[in-house]
Amino acid sequence: MIIIDGKKTAADLRLNLKTEVDNLKKKFNKVPGLTVILIGEYAPSKIYVRNKEKSAEEIGLKSEIVKYPKTVDEKTVLEKIYELNQDDTVSGILVQLPLPKHIDNKKVIDAINPRKDVDGFHPNNVGNLSSGYKSSIPCTPLGCYLLIKNIEPNLSGKKAVVLGRSNLNGKPMTQLLLKENCTVTITHSKTKNLKEECLKADILVVAVGIPKLVKGDWVKKGTIVIDVGINKTDKGIVGDVDFDEVSKSAKAITPVPGGVGPMTIACLLKNTIECFKRSLV
Ligand code: GUN
């Protein structure tokens, strides 16, 4: 059984990205820039954003955080996005979610220039991904995909089951697996016989936000299990998969923490560099 080391894989990826940034700097005398908009005081968002900034600076990107109080009005945020869309030193724009209730998610995401959309949330990018065209790919499923491919380079004909149908993870994850010629089942809170569906999986990706939902007898022998969950409990941070039970039958499994999490940020850096390169042509 392999415990998938997301920390190490992400560190290797960041090293390659740093070399790429160095080369781009030599060639074009400029570096990719990432601007993150952070609204309010939601503690997990503040931690993510700080980690994003630290990682971006470590590989030589230009990094900026624009902070607003949670009372900021929608117009101010939209105008900032329009300004960043026009700024040639900004390659990528990320608006940290969740947003306060009075701000319309869709309006904010739609306002970002799709060529600077490092999250891959803009409808143009969502459409391009599902049509098989070049697009920004959401960072979390991209990280999961890279971890899966490290274990199993040829996914053709494999049965993949995705738990959770969010725009952030489940839906784009499905598209990535489909592109690899997997047979994909997407399941969610209304799915009947969830356990039976999971038992069919050669590859199981779980992103539902329910601590230790997936038990040992939900997974057949030899499955690759990717746990996107990060749940705070009395016993510390746990995933959506019962690691101790499932690791007995899985071929490979991501731990929480130290699995998918570090890959998400590394993929954000990768997307920022991709946006920069696309801006040059
Ligand atoms: N909040 C939690 N995850 C994400 C993410 O991947 N992107 C953005 N913009 N906000 C998030």
* Ranges in the chain annotated CATH 3.40.50.720: 139-261
- Written out in words, the top-level CATH class of the domain with range 139-261 is alpha beta
What does the pLDDT read at residue 128? 98
Q: Are 278 and 62 in contact (CB under 8 A)?
A: no
Count the helix, strand and coil residues of the chain and give each as a percent rounded to the nearest 5: 45, 15, 35
Mean residue pLDDT across the chain: 97
- Region 201-210: what's the mean pLDDT? 98
Phi/psi of residue 152, each to 5°? -135, 90
49 CA from centroid of ligand 1 (Å)? 9
Amino acid residing at 27: K
pLDDT single digits (tens) 133-170: 999 999 999 999 999 999 999 999 999 999 999 999 99
What does the pLDDT read at residue 104? 98
Q: Work out the number of other CB atoms within 10 angstroms of the CB of residue 106.
A: 9
- Region 68-88: what's the mean pLDDT? 98
217 CA from centroid of ligand 1 (Å)? 32
- Computed from CA positions of residues 237, 242, 248, 249, in that sequence, does the dihedral angle turn out positive or negative? negative
Is the predicted pLDDT of residue 205 greater than 90, yes or no? Answer: yes
Tokens for 271?
A: 């997307």
What does the pLDDT read at residue 133? 95
| Residue 259 pLDDT level (bands cut at 50, 70, 90) | very high
pLDDT single digits (tens) 94-145: 999 999 999 999 999 999 999 999 999 999 999 999 999 999 999 999 999 9
* Catalytic annotation present for 175: no
Q: Which of 281, 279, 280 is nearest to 117 (CA)?
A: 279
| Nearest residue (CA) to ligand 1, atom 2 | 97
Mutate to test the pocket of ligand 1, among 94, 125, 173 (most ligand atoms within 8 A of CB): 94
Is the predicted pLDDT of residue 49 greater than 90, yes or no? Answer: yes
* Ranges in the chain annotated CATH 3.40.50.10860: 29-113
Cut 0.85: pTM above it: yes
Q: Are 140 and 168 in contact (CB under 8 A)?
A: yes
Q: Which of 62, 80, 117, 119 is flagged as catalytic?
A: 119
pLDDT single digits (tens) 207-247: 999 999 999 999 999 999 999 999 999 999 999 999 999 99
Q: What is the CATH number of domain 29-113?
A: 3.40.50.10860
Atom number of ligand 1 nearest to Cα 119 = 7
- Computed from CA positions of residues 9, 147, 23, 66, in that sequence, does the dihedral angle turn out positive or negative? negative
What does the pLDDT read at residue 279? 95
* Catalytic annotation present for 96: yes
26 CA from centroid of ligand 1 (Å)? 31
What does the pLDDT read at residue 262? 97
- Rounded Cα distance between 3 and 46, Å, is 29
Tokens for 167?
A: 């725009």
Identify the three-state secondary structure at position 37: strand
What does the pLDDT read at residue 281? 82
183 CA from centroid of ligand 1 (Å)? 27
Q: Residue 35 is inside which H or E element, if any?
A: strand 33-39
What does the pLDDT read at residue 29? 96
Instruction: Determine the number of helices (DSSP H) and then strands (DSSP E) in the chain.
Output: 10, 11
